[in-house]
A and B are shown apart, each in its own frame.
Chain A
Amino acid sequence: MNSRSRYVWAYFMIAPTLIGTLVFWGWPVVQSILLGFQHSSNFGTDNHWVGFDNYVKLVHDEEFWQNLRNTLIYVAMFVPVTLVLSTLFAVLLNTKIKGVSLYRVIFFLPQVTMPAAAAMVWVVLFAQDFGLINHLLGTRMAWLSNGHYAMLVLVIVGVWGAIGMNMLLILAGLQGIPRSLYEAADIDGAKRFNKFRFITIPMLTPTLFFTSIILFIGATQIFDSIYLIIGKTNVALPSVRSLVYAYYQNSFIYNDRNYGAAIINVLLVINLALTGIQFAFQKKWVHYD
């Protein structure tokens, strides 16, 4: 077969993915950026350019800064806690103990559970008067209506849902470390902790790096649990409202899609910048072998 007709086949085979990506994902990114510079009235029939007006409004909007702060606080708590606990469980399950596959199934169960359904149970568990958690702790904390506690609840719920997946990813990484490295260390009489510190952790960095990027991108988009656990009438909402929640509220509740676009474009820039930074630093601290 000549190369000309191979090209034609190649274009034919990538066509659905390419066209789908451009139409439904690529073009919307461009449109979202354009929407941020426009103002629409009359139910979107009248669009006109307003330059940076939406962003000027954003910069002067106290609520926006609060939402940005909330999002970053959530990310800063959720990502490290998930990474540490997932690594801990992965290391424990990588030993020769009984029941490993049962533990794996149990830890993975939250991952297959619909976040909307899980959120509803967490509301009951964290209820102030009749909630199981206050009952077990012997406290009467207002978990869901105090801003600080509410943020903690969102982190707990997030970590609960994320451990299973990340533990498996890290476990796969652990099992990819060559046995011979540990055997060599044993011959040298290395201690358990030193083997962990000087073999496991460095060899695991590519996996931890990959996992942290995925976790980070996911965490900045927190919405489901705020929508369902905190809810729009809760007094704690301003202390936990994320950028995505604010985007949803402005675009689809207040019908101001241009201001909504400005908010979500900020998140787009943050994600692109941080992915860029992570990739740049990757060479420095990740050991690829």
Chain B
Amino acid sequence: MHSLTSKKINLVVHIILIISAIAMLVPFIWMVLTSLKTTTEATQIPIRYFPDAPSFRGYIEAIKQSEFPHYYMNTIISAVMKTVFPVIFSSMAAYAFARIRFPGSSLLFILILSVMMVPNPVFYTPQYMMMSELGLVNTVTALWIASLISPFATFLLRQFFMGISKELEEASVLDGCNPFQIYWHIMLPLVRSALVAIVIIQLQWAWNELQWPLIINSSPEKMTLSSGIATLVSMFGTDYPVLMAGAFMAVVPMIILFFIFQKQFIEGIAFSATKG
């Protein structure tokens, strides 16, 4: 009797999860199907699920009429800069905050953390004015220059460094290592999984960001995938196969990365949650 009810419950759980999973996947399936339709098939009534013969016109048009190679290049450059530098700078700062008691350390730490509470758009006008004074409006540099640091990563890594036993370090202090050498050679390898989590969070955020690229760069060859496909809408209006092809090309690199590193993605998030 008891095993029967738990079997029933299992079945209900599976049904709920399967229906929800399909609902989550519908946008992806529809994106791909629509991108392969002709313009008439995409808006036909009654609705068509599948194209008669898959057409790649959407992809060809999207590539021909916009600056996809530039979008990819700019997105990759800006995402790499916004990932590599914050990881290096945050881990350095986090180590110092976790292990060295220096005058003003808690005040400076709170100062850095407090900007986390500020909504991002608050920064945009002043940053735009700054870029404009530096002559950086409409450059790839402007996409990443203000995002080389991460208070969130600093906070997270400090938590991790504080959880590591001090014995290892004490031995190296006796060997005459300076704090930077201890951080680089001993501590950094110990927080490798936290670093992976931060790389993933930063990369994902940098790849998908829309508002700042939209504000700072208006020439097509300086846009990212996000702001680039946003302009496809004004170029192609209701030519949905082209729009869906553009959207697919924009999301596919991140989705491939996710499938390859799904374990790191999922564990990284869970990992940061347990320390946050």
A positions within 8 Å CB-CB of B: 1, 5-7, 9-14, 16-18, 20-22, 24-29, 31-32, 35, 44, 89, 92-93, 95, 97, 99, 103-118, 120-122, 124-125, 127, 129-132, 135, 160, 163, 165, 168-169, 171-173, 175-176, 207, 210, 217, 220-221, 223-224, 227-228, 231, 244, 247-248, 251-252, 257, 260-261, 264-265, 267-268, 271-272, 275
Known interface pairs A17-B149, A103-B21; A120-B93 also in contact (CB < 8 Å): no
A-B residue pair count with CB separations less than 8 angstroms: 290
Residues of chain B in range 175-195 having any CB-CB distance to chain A below 8 Å: 176, 178-180, 183
Which residue of B17, B123, B240 is within 8 Å of A124 (Cβ)? B240
* B55 → chain A closest CB, angstroms: 16
Q: Are B215 and A252 in contact (CB under 8 A)?
A: yes
The answer on a CB contact under 8 Å between B173 and A1 is yes
B30: chain A residues within 8 A (beta carbon): 121, 124-125, 132
Contacts A24-B127, A116-B210, A252-B215 known; A10 to B121 CB distance under 8 Å? no
CA distance A21 to B155 in the complex (A): 13
Whether B25 and A106, one on each chain, are in contact in the complex, defined by CB atoms closer than 8 angstroms, is yes
Q: Which residues of B contact A103 (CB under 8 A)?
A: 17, 21
Majority SS at the chain B contact face: helix
Of B17, B178, B247, which is within 8 A of A117 by CB? B247
Bound CA–CA A220/B120 (angstroms): 11
Tell me if B160 counts as interface (CB < 8 A to partner A).
no
Apart from A113-B254, A163-B24, list 5 A-B contacts with CB within 8 A. A14-B93, A21-B151, A108-B258, A129-B43, A248-B121
Asked whether A129 and B45 contact (CB < 8 A) given A28-B127, A35-B126, the answer is: yes
B residues near A13, Cβ cutoff 8 Å: 92-93, 95-96, 179-180, 183
Indicate if the CB atoms of B102 and A116 lie closer than 8 Å: no
Q: Does B42 contact A (CB under 8 A)?
A: yes
Q: What is the CA–CA distance of A224 and B229 in the complex, to the nearest angstrom?
A: 12
Please give, as numbers and ranges, the residues of chain B lying within 8 Å of A173 by CB-CB distance: 273
In Å, the complex CA distance between A118 and B100 comes to 45
- Asked if B14 and A18 sit within 8 Å, CB to CB, the answer is no
From A133, which residue of chain B is reached at the shortest CB distance? B26
Inter-subunit contact B251/A114 (CB<8 Å): yes
CA distance A18 to B240 in the complex (A): 46
Q: What chain A residues lie within 8 Å of B95 (beta carbons)?
A: 13
B4 at the interface (CB under 8 A from A): no
Whole-angstrom CA separation of A190 from B100 in the bound complex: 49
Once the chains are docked, how many angstroms separate the CA of A194 from the CA of B263?
A: 33
Question: Is B97's CB within 8 Å of the partner chain A?
Answer: yes
- Interchain CA distance A22-B229 in the complex, whole Å: 33
Q: Return chain A residues, CB-CB under 8 Å to B108.
A: 14, 18
CB atoms of A223 and B211 under 8 A apart = yes
| Residues in B whose Cβ lies below 8 Å from that of A131 | 47
Q: Give the nearest-CB partner of A98 in chain B.
A: B14
Q: Are A231 and B96 in contact (CB under 8 A)?
A: no
Chain B residues positioned under 8 Å from A248 (CB to CB): 121, 211, 215
B255 located at the interface, meaning its Cβ lies under 8 Å from any Cβ of chain A in the complex: yes
Complex CA–CA separation, A121 to B120 (angstroms): 26
With both beta carbons as reference points, the residue of chain A lying nearest to B179 in the complex is identified as A9
Cα A244 to Cα B215 with chains together (Å): 13
Give 1 or 0 for each of B241-276: 1 = CB within 8 Å of chain A CB: 001101110110011011100100110011101101
